[in-house]
Amino acid sequence: MPLRPRLTPAVADVRRAVRDTLAATAAERAQDPVAPSTADVLVALSGGPDSLALAAAVAFEAPRTAAGSTPLRAGAVVVDHGLQEGSAEVAERAAEQARALGLEPVLVRRVVVGSEGGPEGAARAARYAALEAAALETGALAILLAHTLDDQAETVLLGLARGSGPTSLQGMEPRAGLFARPLLGVRRETTHAFCADSGLDAWHDPQNRDPAFRRVRVRETVLPLLERELGPGIAEALVRTADQLREDSEALDHFAEEQAEELADHAEAGISLSVRGLEANPAALRQRLIRLAVEGEFGLTLSRRQTLDVARLVTDWHGQGPVSLPGVTVVRRGGVLHFEAAATLATD
Ligand SMILES: Nc1ncnc2c1ncn2[C@@H]1O[C@H](COP(=O)(O)OP(=O)(O)OP(=O)(O)O)[C@@H](O)[C@H]1O
């Protein structure tokens, strides 16, 4: 299937969207040109229209992106979750399409999906682990995911419906560690038009239409209803809100990290924070300081409820006992909050 794309508006839009990410990766590669690698970027390809359009745009743009004195090399990874009948054939077909587009190497990785975090969460965890392993194997500096503006808008709306805080409402990050999402500014209809214009025959995951999933109902019913009732541009508006929240949230994270350096004391048993320092901070910073302490010291991510339980040792102090978190105990003693490994306290 040699790709002879017409340069339609959709093809131009998707190609343009990948250029910045590829240029950033090329600059990174040029810093370390002798590092052993077989690919510089990997496209995470499910075979669906979004990731197929991404794969085709990257296949076109990568050889035109200079990484020092050589062009950028792009490969692909297809993860076979082994959950649906015929999944191996779907994965192999996607891999064939990637090879035909000129991506190299193209890896197919079969994963075993556990049960922790529900079926979707477990599949996602297995997929991300396989993608990271593929990057390690090939020496790739970035894994490109094909989430679109519509995916982002759905994520924000789902977060609003759950009453989430800014961390969820800011949606998916354009870059997080190895993972990059170059299509977050591109509408799904554009990736679909890209495939049609380029003669690419995408796979349509039946789960993407199954109304048992909240996300599918948001996509197929809720967002179209909002657009009808409130006017077009709702998806873009939701993403603008998410972008503003991300900016504010990043600023608060930055201030909290600065404060943590002043307020935190590291001891053998764990970490402690001065109550007076926590009191002097507004709630948003106090909660971040608590989360930072627990995450930095014990690698535990606190829910909002757990964070507020700990914060009450500061804001609603009446001599109450310790707060128990998974593997961590938080106790207030002498004007200080002590975060200690649960086992340490038990043997005191
Ligand atoms: N089986 C897979 N193998 C490799 N990458 C995947 C796989 N499933 C999803 N991804 C990557 O994660 C992104 C988001 O996945 P998600 O399931 O939310 O979207 P999707 O509906 O599968 O999108 P697409 O239209 O690309 O299939 C995909 O765009 C793709 O880049």
Range of the domain at 306: 268-346
The annotation status of 327 as a binding-site residue, yes or no, is no
pLDDT (tens place) for every residue of the chain, 348 residues total: 545 668 999 999 999 999 999 999 999 999 987 778 999 999 999 999 999 999 999 999 999 999 988 999 999 999 999 998 899 999 999 999 999 999 999 999 999 999 888 888 999 999 999 999 999 999 999 999 999 999 999 999 999 999 998 888 999 999 999 999 999 999 999 999 999 999 999 999 888 889 999 999 999 999 999 999 999 999 999 999 999 999 999 999 999 999 999 999 988 889 999 999 999 999 999 999 999 999 999 999 999 999 999 999 999 999 999 999 999 999 999 899 999 998 754 444
3-state secondary structure of 36: coil
Amino acid symbol at 57: A
CA–centroid distance, residue 19 to ligand 1 (Å)? 20
Last residue of some domain: 177, 202, 230? 230
Residue 255 forms part of a structural domain:
no
Same domain, 65 and 136: yes
Closest residue (by CA) to atom 9 of ligand 1? 46
Choosing from 230, 257, 292, the residue where a domain stops is 230
Q: With respect to residue 13, please indicate whether it lies within any of the assigned structural domains.
A: yes
CATH number for the domain that contains residue 338: 1.20.59.20
Phi, psi of 3 (to 5 degrees): -85, 115
191 and 278 share one domain: no
Domain boundary among 201, 230, 259: 230
Q: Same domain for 177 and 309?
A: no
- 139: domain CATH number? 3.40.50.620
ipTM attached to this prediction: 0.90
How many distinct structural domains can be found in the chain? 2
Q: Are 147 and 46 in contact (CB under 8 A)?
A: no
CA–CA dist 46, 202 (Å, integer): 9
pTM for the complete prediction? 0.89
Atom of ligand 1 at shortest distance to CA of 77? Answer: 4
Can you tell me whether residue 43 is helix, strand or coil?
strand
Residues 19 and 163 in one domain: yes
Helices (H) and strands (E) in the chain, counts: 14, 13
| 262 domain residue, yes or no | no
Residues at CB less than 6 angstroms from ligand 1: 44-46, 48-51, 77-79, 127, 145-147, 205, 208
Residue nearest (by alpha carbon) to ligand 1 atom 31: 145
Residue environment code for 222-242, b if the CB has 16+ CB neighbours within 10 A, otherwise e = bbeebeeeeeeebbeebbebb
Rounded Cα–Cα distance for residues 155 and 185 (Å): 14
Q: CA-based angle 64:68:74, to the nearest 5?
A: 45
Instruction: Indicate whether 322 and 225 sit together in one domain.
Output: no
Distance of CA 246 to the CA centre of its chain: 13
On whether both 226 and 280 belong to a single domain, the answer is no
One domain, residues 188 and 311: no
Q: Is the same domain home to 213 and 274?
A: no
- Which amino acid, 162? R
Distance, CA of 201 to CA of 48 (rounded, Å)? 9
